[in-house]
Structure 1
Amino acid sequence: MRWTILLSALLLFSCKKNETQHTIVVNDTLITTPETTKVVKAEKSENLIPKQYSNERFKEVTVERIDENKFRVRGKGQIFEANFNWIIEDGHDELMKGFQMTDAGAPEWGNFDFTIAVQKKRENSKLTLVLFESSAKDGSRQHELPIVLF
């Protein structure tokens, strides 16, 4: 009976000794720490995949903030005659509008890449970029893809 208690105590002690040392990997670096685990948060990861937006006419659309008020918009569109429109709204007003072209018309998926610079009129408003195809029949917006800028 004494041997069982002694053996149990020895096993418990040796298991506890192994538990106090942790090994973690942070930013491809192996870190071994006794008793505590450190979590290191990377400030900016270069391998982050930007958020992509899509609908039935646009796909793989990304928006990259270049400067405080400047954005680069890239993606693919399956657009009739390769021509699509965009508009920037702040919830109250249309601040800017324009059009772009893809490098191929429908039914192909054509690439597009353009830069826009815009400033808010109201400090507390949200700017939204809306990509859309204009109807050949009546000019109405079709297949709108809204993207919040900031």
Structure 2
Amino acid sequence: MLQILMALILVSSASHYYTGILTSPTESDERLQDNEVFRMVKVRKENMKYKITGEVRLRKGEFFYVVEDGHDELIPATKKKVEPSFPNWSKFEMEVHIPNKKLPNNGTVILYFFEVNNENQRFHTLPIILERS
């Protein structure tokens, strides 16, 4: 019984950070999940624009992002260049705007950060929920 209770507490307290879910995008400076390439990621929503800041540790000096609703890409895969910093972390900031007409009436809008390898496969992916309706 104690093990079940401890597991429930662990899952409920860690689920926000583990999934990369931002429960309320209007809250400023909400910290999201980290991985070995992206950390300290924060999202702030202002008038359908999402201001995103964080730190990256990249060998190539570039990462990609895509915004989708689970079915369609609202913003196609886009390259973001930064100074190569590996093994150190460097700060980044960006702004994403999604037109109202592209937003789903009932669904979730997810931003994915990732790197691409030589075979054009995604890795070190970090999902972040921007909108949930």
Instruction: Give the structure-2-normalised TM-score.
Output: 0.69
- Name the residue aligned to 1:116: 96
Q: In 2, distance between residues paired with 1:138 and 1:132?
A: 14
Counting matched residue pairs gives 101
Q: Which runs of 5+ in 2 are unaligned?
A: 1-27
Q: Return the alpha-carbon distance in structure 1 between the equivalents of residues 29 and 97 of structure 2.
A: 23
Residue of 87, 95, 111 corresponding to 1:129: 111
Matched, 1:63 2:63: no
Report which of the two structures shows the higher radius of gyration computed on alpha carbons: 1
2:114 matched to 1:147? no
Gapped regions of structure 1 (runs ≥ 5):
1-47
Does residue 1:88 correspond to 2:67, yes or no? Answer: yes
Structure of higher RCO (CA pairs closer than 8 Å, 6+ residues apart): 2
Query: In the TM superposition, what is the alpha-carbon distance from 1:49 to its structure 2 partner?
Result: 4.8
Whether the 8 Å CA contact 1:90–1:126 is kept in 2: the answer is yes
Deviation at 1:122, TM superposition (A): 2.2
- Report whether the alignment pairs 1:50 with 2:30: yes
Q: Cα deviation per residue 1:9-48 (whole Å; 9 max; x = unaligned)?
A: xxxxxxxxxxxxxxxxxxxxxxxxxxxxxxxxxxxxxxx7
Query: Partner letter of residue 86 of structure 2?
Result: A
| Deviation sequence 1:54-101 (CA, Å, 0-9, x none) | 11110000111021x210111011112210000001010111031212
Q: Report if aligned partners of 2:29, 2:42 keep a CA contact under 8 Å in 1.
A: no
Give me the whole-angstrom Cα distance separating, in 1, the residues matched to 2:46 and 2:90: 23
Q: What SS does structure 2 have at the residue aligned with 1:127?
A: strand
Aligned-partner residue type, residue 54 of structure 2: G
Q: Which residue, 51, 55, 67 being the options, matches 1:76?
A: 55
Aligned AA for 1:145? L
- TM-score using structure 1 length: 0.62
Aligned partners of 1:82 and 1:110 also within 8 Å: no
Q: Return structure 1 stretches of 4+ with deviation > 3 angstroms.
A: none
Identical positions, percent: 29
